[in-house]
Structure 1
Amino acid sequence: MLNALQVVTTVTVGLMVGVEFSVAFVMNRIFGALPEDSDQMARAHGGRLLGALMPFWYIGSLVLAAGWAVAGWHLPGTGLVVIAAALLIVSVLMSVLLLVPINNRGKTWTPETRPADWKEQMNRWDRYHYGRVAVIVAAFTLLVTALA
């Protein structure tokens, strides 16, 4: 049972890292190269789509990592899982405190209703997102290392 929990946790966090890495380093660059208002409209659509999914993914990843830490408390490597879970808590806090407020505004914007500083707000979101990606990559790395 513990082995299944370890695999599900690692795969879930790994997929989340892949999606968030892709958003940071691929999708936003593609969106930025689109003509005229397409960048802002693509970000708004992405904010609606991923904004609905990611809370479950982040909280689910944290719950899985915490479950692994509890179930494997007696095993070597559990300290790494605990640190990974702590980093996932940090990623949730970063999301709620820094990224979600910007995303909630941005996902409602249209070319007609967006504020004059929309690009600055999106750049701020990007900077926070880079930090969050670094945190979840570190968590994923610790989970993989705990398996070894």
Structure 2
Amino acid sequence: MLNALQVVTTVVVGVMVGVEFAVPFFINPIINALPEDAGQLARADGGRRGGAVMPFWYITSLVLVGIWAVAGWGDHGTGLVVTAGALLIVSVLMSVLLLVPINNRVKTWTPENRPADWKQQMNRWDRWHYVRVAVIIAAFALLVAALA
């Protein structure tokens, strides 16, 4: 049963990492190249969609890692799993404190009501997102290492 939990947890976290990695390296460059206001509208839509799904995904990942750490307590790799859990906590805190406030504004913007500094706010979100991606990649790598 523990093996199944480890595999499910690693897959759930790994897919989350893949999605979050794709945002700055693939999706945003495509969106930023769209003409006129289409890019800003696409980012607002992405903010609404991501804002609806990602909280559950992050929390589910954290819960699964916590269950793995408890169920596998004393096994080799438990320290790596606990450290991965701590990194996921950091990513959740970053999300709530730094990224969500910006996202909550972005998802309501239209070309008619967006603020003058909208691009700077988007760039700030992007910079924090790069850091969050690095944190969750590190957490994922620790989970994979714990399996070895």
TM-score range, shorter chain: over 0.9
- Write the deviation string for residues 105-147 of structure 1: whole angstroms up to 9, x where unpaired: 0000000010000000000000000000000000000000000
2:28 paired with 1:32: no
Does the residue aligned with 1:82 lie in a helix, a strand or coil? helix
Match of 2:53 in 1: 53
- For normalisation by structure 1, the TM-score amounts to 0.99
Instruction: Structure 1: give runs of 5+ residues left out of the alignment.
Output: none
Counterpart AA for 1:48: R
- The 1-side partners of 2:99 and 2:125 are apart by 6
Shift of 1:24: 1.3
- The 2-side partners of 1:136 and 1:119 are apart by 25
Does the residue aligned with 1:96 lie in a helix, a strand or coil? helix
Shift of 1:40: 0.4
Shift of 1:25: 0.7
2:113 paired with 1:108: no
Does the residue aligned with 1:112 lie in a helix, a strand or coil? coil
Match of 1:8 in 2: 8
- Write the deviation string for residues 61-101 of structure 1: whole angstroms up to 9, x where unpaired: 00000100000002100000000000000000000000000
Counterpart AA for 1:51: G
- The 2-side partners of 1:101 and 1:92 are apart by 13
- The 2-side partners of 1:5 and 1:24 are apart by 30
- The 1-side partners of 2:8 and 2:141 are apart by 15
- The 1-side partners of 2:4 and 2:56 are apart by 20
- Where has structure 1 moved over 3 Å in runs of 4 or more? none
- The 2-side partners of 1:95 and 1:3 are apart by 30
2:139 paired with 1:147: no
- The 2-side partners of 1:93 and 1:74 are apart by 28
Match of 2:89 in 1: 89
Number of equivalent positions: 148
- The 1-side partners of 2:53 and 2:89 are apart by 17
2:66 paired with 1:66: yes
Instruction: Structure 2: give runs of 5+ residues left out of the alignment.
Output: none
What is the Cα-based RMSD across aligned positions, in Å?
Answer: 0.4
